[in-house]
Structure 1
Amino acid sequence: MIEVMKAFVKESPLNWSDVLQGPYYDEPIIQFASADDPLFEEYKSIIGPGHATPKELIERSFGSGTYNGGSVISIVLPIHESIRKANRQQKERASREWALLRTFGDEYFLKAARIHLTDYIINLGRLAAAPLDADWYGITSTDTGPISNWSERHVAYAAGLGTFSLNDGFISEKGIAIRLLSVVTDLQLPSDPRSAATHTGNCLLCSKGNCGVCITRCPVQAISKNGHDKIACMKFVYGQGSREWAAQSGGEATSGAGCGLCQTKVPCESRNPMRNAK
């Protein structure tokens, strides 16, 4: 399973940019959570009652009574150095390289990777479904910002891949400049432990009180020591200016250009900063 996805990331032509002359993503980290982990039920209180459990996902995909346990596969895809390097130089908006990542990495490659993994498992004669490709998947607007009914970050936390950060990103062992994907299956895979002391354990500011670089990197002041203004962030990341810059950069306007400034030129960009924290 792990080697299959590593090979796909390495070999897929969709993970290559002729414009950038390099890949969008580096070798992934892949871990597993039990589909019966009680944390998934807790997410209905933490995130919202509409957040699906693995059991609900399987039965929505394959019918009532088809769930007999299983696993959730969560994958961290580190963003390639050349894209991160370009974005480090930015102060007001995403780099051209990051804008291309939003369209061709995030929209095209991530979907292809989810399909590849689900098809691989189904060809083994087992059940598999990717929540983000389900017809019921959606994002709801609330007074505090958008909420999805399947959070890749919360799934990655359940699989022990890292923790949340001040800016609501996810800090893995390969840092915060990453993308995430997940697939639910009836395969019984060995669960990985959660080793972080708290759900923000990898964030220097939350754990040690001695960072906050992401606050200074945000071009719309959507991050403060009190947390992350999701609405201000969303308006900037998916607003008209972002869509125009995406198109000008060679991407698709509907994808937006993203931002990623708070994920680059920060101590957690490509590593877990708590590994060497004093």
Structure 2
Amino acid sequence: MQKRLEAYIKGFVKDYPNIKGTITKWGEPLITFCDANNREFEKLKKVVTPEHSMPRDFLPDAKTIIAYFLPFEEAVIKSNIKGIESSKEWGVAYIETNKLIYDLNSYIFNIIKELGYEATIIPATHNFDEKKLVSQWSHRHVAYIAGLGKFGLNNMLITEKGCCGRVGSIVTSLKIETTGFHNEEYCIYKVNGGCKKCVKACVNGSLQIDSFNRHKCYEMCLYNDNNLGDIGVADVCGKCTVGMPCSTKIPTR
């Protein structure tokens, strides 16, 4: 079943630009599976927020978490390197990828339902506490537990295809074989204290080596949303992810 679902997800993403006529294109997704009863999920109530949902909050009979990473094509990444403001291509990629995640989750939801099991359709974003600016279901943290990647100094999930892309996840009652979890760090700074390019790239100082001001970061995201207002809701920045050693790969390997 693991291989079948991987094929479904990869095929859907590959065909999506032609079917939907999107401007954005994506690389082949990375997909991992983990046990929904993994005790690591309980830690998210301390690491993220006490209100963070557990898999069983979505499905009482939750068995598996499917986590995936949708890497942006190189043109999208390069478009956002220069300047202080986010590029239009980056903003469009954010919007179109959020829609892709919803459509993909709906597609997998229907496949799993046809097999006689339950699944969820969780939005890619904007499911967060607007005062605390923390998500009640952090796709990145869930994906970390599922072995999809490791957190970098920039607070992004570094996967085998880097951190420039979007993460999605699905909760299901279908039991699926789990994938492994790697203990090695992927961030150069966390390995030897080097790099720190993401801190230098932060346009308003919200990201520091020893701290992160999420409200200040979000101010920049809202600024870009206003600047890119004609394309839809694009509260993005991404400067700490583009042009980095970890943008498209694991830099420590």
TM over 0.5: yes
Shift of 1:165: 1.3
Question: What secondary structure, in the 3-state scheme, does the structure 2 residue paired with 1:12 have?
Answer: helix
For residues 136-179 of structure 1, what are the alpha-carbon distances to aligned partners after superposition, in whole Å with 9 as ceiling and x for unaligned? Answer: x831245xx41111110111111111111112111011001120
Partner of 1:4: 8
Q: Does 1:155 align with 2:142?
A: yes
Q: Does 1:183 align with 2:167?
A: no
- Partner Cα distance (1:258, 1:187) in 2: 34
Shift of 1:212: 0.5
1:220–1:233: 8 Å Cα contact kept in structure 2?
yes
For residues 177-229 of structure 1, what are the alpha-carbon distances to aligned partners after superposition, in whole Å with 9 as ceiling and x for unaligned? Answer: 120000011111111121124xxx21111221011101111111111111322
Which amino acid is the alignment partner of residue 207 of structure 1?
A: V
- Partner Cα distance (1:133, 1:217) in 2: 25
Which aligned pairs between 1:136-175 and structure 2 lie closer than 5 A?
138-141=127-130, 145-175=132-162
Which amino acid is the alignment partner of residue 6 of structure 1?
A: K
Name structure 1 gaps, 5 residues minimum.
Answer: 60-66
1:32–1:192: 8 Å Cα contact kept in structure 2?
yes
Partner of 2:236: 258
Correspondence for 1:210 among 194, 197, 215: 194
Residues 1:188 and 1:113: Cα distance change in structure 2 (over 3 Å): same
Shift of 1:260: 1.0
Which amino acid is the alignment partner of residue 128 of structure 2?
A: I
1:47–1:147: 8 Å Cα contact kept in structure 2?
yes
1:15–1:105: 8 Å Cα contact kept in structure 2?
no
- Partner Cα distance (1:95, 1:141) in 2: 25
Partner of 1:63: none
Q: Does 1:224 align with 2:208?
A: yes
Q: Does 1:243 align with 2:225?
A: yes
Q: Does 1:41 align with 2:37?
A: no
2:142–2:169: 8 Å Cα contact kept in structure 1?
yes
- Partner Cα distance (1:246, 1:110) in 2: 21
Which amino acid is the alignment partner of residue 217 of structure 2?
A: C
Shift of 1:97: 0.8
Residues 1:258 and 1:80: Cα distance change in structure 2 (over 3 Å): same
- Partner Cα distance (1:70, 1:14) in 2: 34
Question: What secondary structure, in the 3-state scheme, does the structure 2 residue paired with 1:196 have?
Answer: coil
- Partner Cα distance (1:206, 1:133) in 2: 27
Shift of 1:54: 1.0
Normalising by structure 1, report the TM-score.
0.83
Which amino acid is the alignment partner of residue 264 of structure 1?
A: V
Shift of 1:34: 0.2
Shift of 1:16: 6.3
2:17–2:25: 8 Å Cα contact kept in structure 1?
no
1:152–1:180: 8 Å Cα contact kept in structure 2?
yes
For residues 71-90 of structure 1, what are the alpha-carbon distances to aligned partners after superposition, in whole Å with 9 as ceiling and x for unaligned? Answer: 000001111111011112x2
Partner of 1:64: none
Which aligned pairs between 1:70-109 and structure 2 lie closer than 5 A?
70-88=63-81, 90-106=82-98, 108-109=99-100
Normalising by structure 2, report the TM-score.
0.91
Shift of 1:15: 7.6
1:166–1:227: 8 Å Cα contact kept in structure 2?
no
Question: What secondary structure, in the 3-state scheme, does the structure 2 residue paired with 1:219 have?
Answer: coil
Shift of 1:114: 1.5
For residues 235-260 of structure 1, what are the alpha-carbon distances to aligned partners after superposition, in whole Å with 9 as ceiling and x for unaligned? Answer: 111x2x32232234xx11xx125111
Shift of 1:131: 3.3
